[in-house]
Amino acid sequence: MKKLIAFVLSLCVLGGAAPTVTHYAPDMAIVASAASSGTCGENLAWAVDDTGTLTISGTGSMNDWRWYSIIFSHGGPAQVEFVEDAAPPWYDLNGEITKIVVEEGVEIISYSAFLNLYNVTSVELPSSLTAIGSYAFGNCNSLKEIVIPDSVTSIGSDAFAKCYNLTSINIPDSVTIIGSDAFAECYNLTSINIPDSVTSISNFAFYHCSSLTSINIPGSVTSIGYRAFGYCSNLKSINIPDSVTSIDDSAFLCCSNLESITIQNPDCDIYNNMRTINSGYDAIADESYFNGTIYGYSGSTAQTYAEKYGYNFESLDEAPAEPLLGDVDGNEIVDGRDASMVLTHYALISANKPGVITDAQALLNADWDQNDIIDGRDASAILTYYAEQSVSKE
């Protein structure tokens, strides 16, 4: 039997008051009976002591508790659905739990495992952990910081959504996936790092992180999703590396204090809408506006986008030249020196010693046949190319 409870989420709007924090809980009648210990996985146990510490011990993955789902459009009315007898067994003690300790051996924190534990101020995670599931720490309103171990590879959707008092979080280089809404409405989050292991910034990932002032997007990222940074009202500037090939609709919606956005890729696919980059909405003119400046290369899609919507644009000069295959030393010439560097590099690597080529682009340029191996064949091919070019110039 499912019980549907409707409510309205109090959301912060530009220039509005701080959000009202509400704890959404089902009737106690549909929650597991009171207990202070039990099992929570095939080889896992849980216990809550008299200090309010919830400890998860054992090995493997926690059970999946799909007892709670949110159906809503961001910024609008919402409905929450609670599924009878499906809540985590410690949920009826949620007001008493102030600390979570996940011991070594636990590999996966499941869907909504610690959702709505609104008095939790401290969390300890083990080095055995590989994944943090969707809604895992959602609405943990008292949590201010958390350290994610470098064994974690994925952070699920809404994993830390509505952690209103979370101020900082460090995402390790091991993480390759950050789910949609992962940090949505973390109103007090001031800084966050995105590691260069992440290739895309999902929809709503940092939506309404209104205290965020800066963020570094690494060169591994290729796409920025729908409303990924929407309503980040204190974001001042952002640099989008040339690895990013697409920016989705409303990615920077209502970033009211954004002064500059630099788009390094001259061919970046910027969603054709005034809302994609804007400071707000003028109800009288019935259109979006942007008070900052878009920086990009002359003739770039950034310039086209800015000019179409009347936004300020400043050129970064001409777009950089395409990387030149075979140009290992970076002097924009392919010659014998490049071939010599490749041969030396190959000899050192073959002897289990550090190679002479360390720059990422130089390594790509050295791999002439593009087989992900730098060896004598690449050196020979570069030398042959240099000889042919030299003859053709005579």
The DSSP bridge partners found for residue 223 are: 200, 246
pLDDT tens-digit map of 263-273: 999 999 999 99
Backbone angles phi, psi at 20, to 5 degrees: -85, 125
CA distance 145 to 308: 42
Helix intervals (H) in 37-110? none
Instruction: Confirm whether pTM is higher than 0.85.
Output: no
User: Strand 269-270's sheet: what is its strand order?
Assistant: 200-201, 223-224, 246-247, 269-270
Q: Residue 16 has what DSSP assignment?
A: -
CA distance 73 to 351: 59
Which residue numbers in the chain have pLDDT < 70? 1-35, 67-85, 318-322, 392-394
Token output for 155:
């952070």
Model pLDDT, residue 286: 80
Model pLDDT, residue 37: 93
Model pLDDT, residue 285: 80
